[in-house]
Amino acid sequence: MKYKIGQKIKFTNSFVIELNNGKKAKIVKGDEAMVVRKVDKGSGEIVYTTGEAKGLSQIIDIDVDENIDSDYILKKIMNEL
């Protein structure tokens, strides 16, 4: 599956990520993240928006389309007004 910048990802499995400071954060089923940029052909950066890892970023193996998810971004802007 190809993801767009700004697209929301909802996790369907629970897992643990290791943080830069040596600590760990648990990602649980239902936690969400947003794709923020394409790093290279096979990876992209996400920022966790919910759960224990909220606000943290991670580079993961996903196929990222360089186009922006304009519908999602527009909805986000409209909700902020």
Query: Which residue is it, tokens 């909220």?
Result: 54
Residue 25 bridge partners (DSSP): 17
Phi-psi region of 74 (alpha: psi -120 to 50; beta: other; left: phi over 0): alpha
- Cα–Cα distance, 58 to 73 (Å, whole number): 21
List beta partners, residue 69.
none
Q: Using the predicted structure, report yes or no on whether residue 72 has a pLDDT greater than 80.
A: no
Question: 53: pLDDT confidence band, cut at 50, 70 and 90?
Answer: very high
pLDDT interval class at 77 (50, 70, 90): confident
Residue range(s) defining the domain that contains residue 72: 2-80
Question: What's 75's domain CATH number?
Answer: 2.30.30
Task: Provide the number of structural domains found in the chain.
Answer: 1
CB neighbour list of residue 49: distance below 8 Å, 6 or more residues apart: 8, 32, 33, 34
What mean pLDDT value characterizes the chain? 89
